[in-house]
Structure 1
């Protein structure tokens, strides 16, 4: 079994190393000793006897080293073996000139066997000393005079041949060591260069991937910013047309290179109507049945990759189908519409953008068509194709639009409930009071006018008692529709209470208001109600600033004029004095 021994702060050494060194050094020493003894016995050469004694002494040193190995002292064994070998080499070089070349093997054996196994910190100096000793022996061999010997010429010739062979072996060993170390260094350098090249390639790949990820993150961040901005604008949009304009502009920035449209599905679910477009005018129907769209049928994303990819929606134009996708807008369990995207970016796009630039009235269908700009190129999310990224973004935008449209419809419903009369659909008294205050402020600021009409159905209580409340409600609805259709778009018709109505006419003088009231009276007189009966309308008229500067004053004056009309025969218009 191989054991290891380590001193404090030193590298551990295998016991096998010094043991192998001892085994390798003993046979040459014994051989040299026998050779010198044979020469001494044969020829009586005293120098050979001295050589034999020195070598036998070295065998004693080897024995001491063996004892050190048995005591688990490998460093001591190596020092004894190497130091004794150097001492014997020096002594032989001094006393036995004819055999000095043989001991050159000593430093070679020492370095070859010891350097591989011992620690560099402790035994490096010993190895260097061994090599220097070998070089010193070579110098002694060259400069020392030949000492007389009784050996025959044949033995001397053999010894010199051995001496030359040992020197040549020493030189070959040096070259072999140098070439081995040089090859090792070159191999390590080549491996290092290869590793460096591989690491550089890896760094380049990592850098490229990081740059791609950075670009991707920047693009996603831009998209998130645009989507968030569009969502915030949708939250504060006051009309449907405003919301559709916001969607058209936002979609053009989010999907440059793609055309699209927004379709809404009213609560009655009878038809789907296009309310916003961007890019090129899509080759789709403006109004179609819900069953014509596969996305609405399935309730999920529907994609057409080309003319051979399968069925196409009925609302898409004929011919070769270009790639497109339809995404149903679903929120709170209700389907609100369809978000449509298609691959269609022409060489020359329309240069106009028919979208309101500020909040306010808009056309029935908002469009956003313009030539691609530098901003479009920078914000490009799909290379004019419905890539996976564009599809994912489309789903995200569709989810936002569905929630926004659901919230918008809810706000419209709540607003209608708070401002509309449930029976007639006209604005209620609360909305009339708020509108009157607003219009008075605007008229005062612009030094304009404002007409106010108070109208009341004549003998309505008697009609209710005679025909019933159901018929009375129908009369109120018919009169409300008549009043709404007989005024200007900017006029405000309200149900003041019971059978009494109020009409606000911005920028109308007293004379203009009185003339409009006369038109309303005549139209009401021609209205046929249940069982062919006819009802008449009495109206009182007042105007700002002639009859007051506050809402209370104007309503009071107009109501007084109405009372005068009813008390003087009904079915007439009376203007306040």
Structure 2
């Protein structure tokens, strides 16, 4: 038996050394042959991510967003911003395409108006997929290439240039594309050097292991073998920890990038749910955000089997009540939070989500079944970092929403302003044209408004405007939009309403304003009335300015006829108009059929 063991050990030792030598050879060969395909793949993924990021930046910066690719029209501000892109990034040239492949803007003006008829544009890009290719080009074809002192390229050298198309989609439709060009030469050299250093390091490690194994084999001591096994276990655990840490850092960076690019809280919480299920796979989670009134927290998202209530109060959470992270299940005596639907003994965290010194929400995490308290608590630091990322993103979205709301709202009445009406009217006209739907617009003016200001003061005039704005807001339904155009002028946009229905709505509005009672000081202000002009699409205009002018002209007709009435665009004789009887019946409180019967 002893001789058999002595015979087997040298054979095993030789096999081990042969294996280590083969591994070292493979590692050295990898230094020469493997980096090129890996570098190409790494560069492609990196450029794809950068192109997607720039696509979102371009769409966000354009005044009309993705609609620009349908119209192919750019504002001067859009052109000025696009002209600066190549000077502020590694992109040296890029183009904007319509769905037909026509270039309507390019950093190289000579490309504007050309059409991309190549097969991949329709078979790949138009199908919503990115198209990427990298090829070597002469240096003189790269726009804006600078021969700086640190640039070791010589005139006539070939550069590795990446060309990538990113599709632009709207409501699931392909409406255009963005093509980016960037120089990959330096990036390729950097990635190649890094990969070679990694493979050199791996080969060096293999060589070191080979030498160490040779020494251990010579000594053939069980104690030394045991030390090697223990060391291998520790190194494996350390490597696993480092890989896990690198993965967590990568996911946190990606989470931050995606959260900062979200446009709404709904989109933000969808991203949070998807990322948290990967970052903390052993935890069920949910997130809550304070409502605008700050009396309750609204359940916004959950993941990994977690649940969230529709709303909770701050008193339901010990973390919010104590103003710091609360851990359930770690102390000898503790109490579960009221918002936890499953009242079991599994440990949990409650992280108050803070932004700019103010609590904006709550992140709740609970260990999955079978996860120990020690393993769950080991994830606390990572969970805290996630809560900080989420808090900043929530604060940024809320601040952006508030700024946007202020930019489209009239501060006195709270109604939308002229800018928002113009943009909404343009969209509604496009929709009405595509779907053959009616569209009506009311131009409204407060009668004798100057008398309120001159007789009772500007405060009384402001009260009158707020009262009229309140009536407009109450009468709006669905997609209907009420706006204050300035002074005592208002407009009401009524999609999907025909001339007859819009005339009845206008008369109802006039009657409702007439019934307003505004008390100022110790007495009531005089009766408030409005004159209304009505215009409809397409009879009175097909463009926003045409339709608004037709409604304004009708408004002037209503004022010329004595005010406190509704006038239709284009009617010469109000008494003979088809809707005159209907308006009169509505004004008198009777229905049109009853009047006809009488």
Contact 1:541 1:574 in 2 (8 A): yes
Q: Which residue of 1 aligns with 2:510?
A: 521
CA offsets, 1:26-63, max 9 Å, x none?
A: xxxxxxxxxxxxxxxxxxxxxxxxxxxxxxxxxxxxxx
- Separation of aligned partners in 1, 2:318 and 2:369: 24
Gap runs ≥5 in structure 2: 1-213, 571-598
Contact 2:301 2:308 in 1 (8 A): no
Q: Which residue of 2 aligns with 1:551?
A: 544
CA offsets, 1:442-469, max 9 Å, x none?
A: 3334444432221122222223334433
Answer yes or no: is 1:485 the counterpart of 2:479. no
For residues 465-544 of structure 1, the aligned pairs below 5 Å read 465-530=454-519, 531-533=523-525, 534-544=527-537
Q: Which residue of 2 aligns with 1:425?
A: 414
Q: Which residue of 2 aligns with 1:295?
A: 319
Answer yes or no: is 1:450 the counterpart of 2:439. yes
- Separation of aligned partners in 2, 1:519 and 1:309: 65
Q: Which residue of 2 aligns with 1:568?
A: 561
Q: Report the TM-score when normalising by structure 2.
A: 0.53
Match of 2:389 among 400, 407, 418: 400
Deviation at 1:492, TM superposition (A): 1.8
Answer yes or no: is 1:243 the counterpart of 2:307. no
Answer yes or no: is 1:327 the counterpart of 2:347. no
Larger radius of gyration: 1
- Separation of aligned partners in 2, 1:321 and 1:523: 60
Are residues 298 and 319 of structure 1, via their aligned partners in 2, closer, same or farther at CA, if it must alter by over 3 Å? closer
CA offsets, 1:314-355, max 9 Å, x none?
A: 544695554211111112222211111123569xxxxxxxxx
For residues 195-206 of structure 1, the aligned pairs below 5 Å read 196-206=221-231
Deviation at 1:221, TM superposition (A): 4.2
Contact 1:343 1:385 in 2 (8 A): no
Q: Report the TM-score when normalising by structure 1.
A: 0.55
- Separation of aligned partners in 1, 2:335 and 2:391: 25
- Separation of aligned partners in 1, 2:326 and 2:282: 20
Q: Does the residue aligned with 1:508 lie in a helix, a strand or coil? A: coil
Answer yes or no: is 1:338 the counterpart of 2:362. yes
- Separation of aligned partners in 2, 1:312 and 1:272: 18
- Separation of aligned partners in 1, 2:456 and 2:384: 57
Contact 1:437 1:551 in 2 (8 A): yes
Q: Which residue of 2 aligns with 1:79?
A: none
Contact 1:285 1:317 in 2 (8 A): no
CA offsets, 1:213-262, max 9 Å, x none?
A: 44444444444444444433433333333323333333334334533221
Are residues 573 and 405 of structure 1, via their aligned partners in 2, closer, same or farther at CA, if it must alter by over 3 Å? same
For residues 63-462 of structure 1, the aligned pairs below 5 Å read 196-266=221-291, 269-280=294-305, 282=307, 286-288=311-313, 290-305=314-329, 308-316=332-340, 320=344, 322-343=346-367, 387-462=376-451
Equivalent residue pairs, number: 353
Deviation at 1:532, TM superposition (A): 4.6
Are residues 489 and 388 of structure 1, via their aligned partners in 2, closer, same or farther at CA, if it must alter by over 3 Å? same
Deviation at 1:572, TM superposition (A): 2.0
- Separation of aligned partners in 2, 1:243 and 1:525: 45
Deviation at 1:280, TM superposition (A): 4.2
Contact 1:343 1:386 in 2 (8 A): no
- Separation of aligned partners in 2, 1:575 and 1:386: 73
Are residues 391 and 540 of structure 1, via their aligned partners in 2, closer, same or farther at CA, if it must alter by over 3 Å? same
Task: Point out the more displaced range, 395-404 or 564-573.
Answer: 564-573
Q: Does the residue aligned with 1:232 lie in a helix, a strand or coil? A: helix
Contact 2:260 2:393 in 1 (8 A): yes
- Separation of aligned partners in 1, 2:315 and 2:343: 20
CA offsets, 1:261-304, max 9 Å, x none?
A: 2122346543333232334454768221x344332244321111
- Separation of aligned partners in 2, 1:548 and 1:191: 92
- Separation of aligned partners in 2, 1:457 and 1:503: 14
- Separation of aligned partners in 2, 1:540 and 1:495: 15
Deviation at 1:397, TM superposition (A): 1.0
Q: Which residue of 2 aligns with 1:5?
A: none
Which has the larger share of helix? Answer: 1
- Separation of aligned partners in 2, 1:307 and 1:200: 43
Deviation at 1:400, TM superposition (A): 0.5
Are residues 284 and 266 of structure 1, via their aligned partners in 2, closer, same or farther at CA, if it must alter by over 3 Å? closer
- Separation of aligned partners in 2, 1:541 and 1:551: 14
Contact 2:554 2:567 in 1 (8 A): yes
Contact 1:285 1:315 in 2 (8 A): no
Deviation at 1:384, TM superposition (A): 9.7
Deviation at 1:388, TM superposition (A): 2.9
Q: Which residue of 1 aligns with 2:594?
A: none
Gap runs ≥5 in structure 1: 1-188, 347-381
Which has the larger share of strand? Answer: 2
Q: Does the residue aligned with 1:387 lie in a helix, a strand or coil? A: helix
- Let me know the Cα RMSD of the aligned residues: 3.3
